[in-house]
């Protein structure tokens, strides 16, 4: 009985975290994630509502938290902190300057909520973890953060791009997805110049401007794109 209740409390806390990190979640998604029935999720949602958590139910779409509602600051276990620190070392080896800057600022904020004992261990781990990569094919860029913003806010983006043949063109693109290879970042975008989806290497984008003009979101997932075009 005690074990069952402990698991339920843990699940309720995890559901709250999920609701805070995602715009909408369905009962089915939550049931799959926590390996329980949809009926159990319904009961959990009612319990959270009765506890005063402002959960909004959008008919046919799912659950979300009322806008501006925030949970108290989270705490991290030592293992979770270590995972974040190791990930930081991987990011610092990234070849996009804007991504490194954004992640470093984010990880600095996360470190402020670590307990002193965990923070000391995390700092020690940061000094003792080194990611060794092949530097022969280094390709740098600095536009990843801007492209992430354009992708999630559906802003048309103007780029000056140099291809493999060293030919430079100016294009208006609609960012759709971002992919990482061992050597570089790629953006998949609808190119208005070629009137088709194209991959662009970030290190070959010589200039980038996120425009105020917005484009109509493409009604497919990345997986659906690959199934349709490959």
Query: How does pLDDT run across 62-107, given as a tens digit for each residue?
Result: 898 887 776 666 677 788 888 888 888 778 777 788 888 888 888 8
**pTM above the 0.75 mark?**
no
Same domain, 60 and 101: no
Write down the pLDDT at residue 5. 62
Integer angstrom CA distances of residue 167 from 54, 93, 107, 200, 209? 55, 29, 39, 13, 19
Spatial contact of 21 and 65, defined as CB atoms under 8 Å apart: no
Burial (CB count <10 Å: 0-12, 13-18, 19+), residue 40: middle
pLDDT, tens only, 11-41: 887 888 788 777 788 999 999 988 899 999 9
Helix (H) or strand (E) holding 80: helix 78-92
* Structural tokens at position 190: 């609808």
Total of domains in the chain? 3
Q: What is the CATH number of the domain that holds 164?
A: 2.30.30
Task: Evaluate the CA torsion angle 74, 75, 79, 84 in order and state its sign.
Answer: positive
Integer angstrom CA distances of residue 32 from 35, 141, 223? 5, 39, 20
pLDDT, tens only, 96-153: 888 888 888 888 877 777 777 887 887 777 778 766 665 566 678 889 889 999 999 9
Is residue 159, in this structure, part of any structural domain at all?
Answer: yes
Domain that holds residue 35: 2-65
Question: Tokens 């005063």 belong to which residue?
Answer: 52
Is residue 133, in this structure, part of any structural domain at all?
Answer: no
Is residue 135, in this structure, part of any structural domain at all?
Answer: no
**Nearest one of 101, 195, 110 to 143, comparing CA atoms:** 101
What's the start-to-end Cα distance of the chain, in Å? 52
Is residue 23, in this structure, part of any structural domain at all?
Answer: yes
Burial (CB count <10 Å: 0-12, 13-18, 19+), residue 88: buried
**Nearest one of 192, 204, 197, 202 to 168, comparing CA atoms:** 204
Same domain, 108 and 180: no
């Amino acid at each position: 009985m005690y074990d069952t209740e402990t698991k339920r409390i843990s699940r309720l806390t995890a559901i709250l975290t999920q609701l805070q990190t995602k715009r909408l979640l369905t009962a089915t998604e939550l049931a799959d994630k926590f390996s329980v029935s949809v009926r159990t999720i319904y009961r959990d949602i009612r319990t959270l509502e009765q506890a005063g958590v402002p959960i909004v139910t959008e008919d046919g779409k799912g659950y979300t938290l009322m806008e501006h509602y925030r949970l108290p600051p989270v705490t991290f276990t030592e293992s979770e902190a270590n995972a974040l620190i190791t990930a930081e070392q991987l990011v610092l080896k990234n070849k996009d300057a804007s991504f490194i800057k954004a992640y470093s600022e984010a990880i600095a904020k996360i470190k402020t909520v670590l307990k002193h004992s965990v923070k000391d261990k995390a700092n020690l781990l940061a000094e003792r973890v080194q990611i060794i990569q092949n530097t022969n094919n280094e390709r740098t860029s600095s536009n990843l953060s801007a492209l992430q913003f354009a992708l999630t806010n559906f802003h048309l983006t103007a780029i000056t791009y140099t291809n493999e043949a060293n030919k430079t063109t100016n294009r208006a693109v609609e960012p759709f997805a971002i992919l990482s290879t061992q050597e570089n970042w790629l953006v998949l975008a609808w190119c208005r110049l070629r009137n088709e989806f194209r991959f662009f290497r970030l290190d070959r984008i010589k200039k980038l401007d996120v425009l105020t003009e917005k484009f109509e979101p493409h009604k497919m997932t990345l997986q659906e794109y690959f199934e349709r075009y490959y």
